[in-house]
A = this chain, B = another copy of it.
Amino acid sequence: MEKELTQLMSYRPGIRVVDATLRDGGLVNDFFFKDDFVKALYETNIKAGVDYMEFGYKCSKEMFDVKKFGKWKFCADDDIRAIVGDQSKGPKIAVMADVGRCDYQNDILKKSESPIDMIRVATYLHQMPAAVAMIEDAKDKGYEVSCNIMAISNVQESDIKVALDLLGNSPVDIIYIVDSYGALYPETMSRVCDVYREYAEKYGKKLGVHAHNNQQLAFANTIEAVGDGVDYLDATYASMGRGAGNCAMELLLGFLKNPKYKEFEAFKFVEYHMNKLKEEGTVWGYDLQYLMTGLLNQHPRTAIEFTKNKRKDYAEFYKELILLD
C-alpha cells in the first residue's frame, strides 16, 4: 500500500490513541499500582489528548486470587468510578477480557450501568468461537468492542484469514493486529496490515495495532501500521508492558500531528511517575533476552523468568533458547 501518511505534515482524523499502561504494565507489577499513580495517569491522558485508557483486565475472581493481584486485574466498575469521577471530559474507558479467564456474563454489566466504554476481547487463534461469543455478549450490552488475536507471528496466514472472516461476520468494531512476541519487522507488519485491511474493508471494521519492543521496533511497527491504514494505536508510558514493553506513548504522541495530542504531558508523566517506578525497582523494557525471544519468535516467558532471576548470562540463555526452539 502506498503510505497514506506520506505527507508527514498532515494527519488522519480517524486515528485513536489507546493508553495500555495499566493493563500491559500491570503484567509487570501484578497490577499493584497506587491510586495516586492511576489518578495522575488519568489526568495526564486527559491533558495529552489520549482517546482511550485501558484500566486493566476483567479477570474472574473465581480463577485468580484477589490477594495476589492489584485491583486492576479485576477492574470493578466502582474502582474505575473512584478514579474517573463523572467522566465528563476524559478519554473513553477500556478493559481487556481474556477468553477463558473472564466470567463475562456476570462480571460485565450493561454499558448503561458501567463507566466502561469499550471491551477488548483478547484471544488466541484456536479460541475464536469463544471470542465471538464474548464479542456478541459485549455488543448486546451496548459496548464498543475490539478483538485482539494474540501471537499471530507463529500461526498460519490461512488460519488468520479464517479468523478474520469470523470476526468480519461478528459485531466487533475493531480488529487488532497484535505482535505478542515482538517478532515482526516493519516490512512484515506492512504485509500483515495488507491482509487485515482486506477483511476490514470487506466487513466495514476498523483496525488497531499492539506492538512489543523486543527488537526496538514497537514504535517503528506502530507508525508503519499507521501508514498502512490502521487507526487504533496502543501505547504505554515509558513503554511499560510485559517483557520488552510496548510502543512508547511519548514517542507516539511526538509523531502524531493531530494538534490535540500533547507530547509534553507524556514527558512530564514519564519524569514524575514512570521513572519513579523504575527507581523503585520495577523492571521492564528492551534488553538482550527479549531481543532473543523476539528474534526466535518465541513467547517471552523464558526471558521474563531470566529477568526475574536477575540473571546476566545472556549468551548461556541464548543457548537454552536454541535448544528449546
A48 to B46: give the CA distance in the assembly, Å. Answer: 49
A268 at the interface (CB under 8 A from B): yes
Query: Which chain B residues border A220 with CB–CB below 8 Å?
Result: 186, 216-217, 219-220
Check A188 against B254 for contact (C-beta < 8 Å): no
A267 at the interface (CB under 8 A from B): yes
A187 at the interface (CB under 8 A from B): yes
Picked from B6, B187, B270, B313, the residue with its CB within 8 Å of the CB of A8 is B187
Check B219 against A217 for contact (C-beta < 8 Å): yes
A92-100, A115-123, A149-157, A287-295 - the one binding chain B: A287-295
Check A288 against B314 for contact (C-beta < 8 Å): no
A12 at the interface (CB under 8 A from B): no
Q: Closest approach, in angstroms, between the C-beta of A208 and any C-beta of chain B?
A: 20
Query: Which chain B residues border A255 with CB–CB below 8 Å?
Result: 185, 215
A264 at the interface (CB under 8 A from B): yes
Query: Which chain B residues border A312 with CB–CB below 8 Å?
Result: 271, 275
Give how many A residues have a beta carbon under 8 Å from the other chain's beta carbons: 41
Q: A215-B254, A219-B215, A288-B271 are in contact. Are A264 and B185 (CB under 8 A)?
A: no
A318 to B253: give the CA distance in the assembly, Å. Answer: 15
A254 to B214: give the CA distance in the assembly, Å. Answer: 12
A66 at the interface (CB under 8 A from B): no
- Closest chain B residue, CB of each to CB of A5: B187
Check B219 against A313 for contact (C-beta < 8 Å): no
- Closest chain B residue, CB of each to CB of A188: B8
A172 at the interface (CB under 8 A from B): no
Q: Closest approach, in angstroms, between the C-beta of A16 and any C-beta of chain B?
A: 20
Picked from B227, B251, B270, B313, the residue with its CB within 8 Å of the CB of A216 is B251
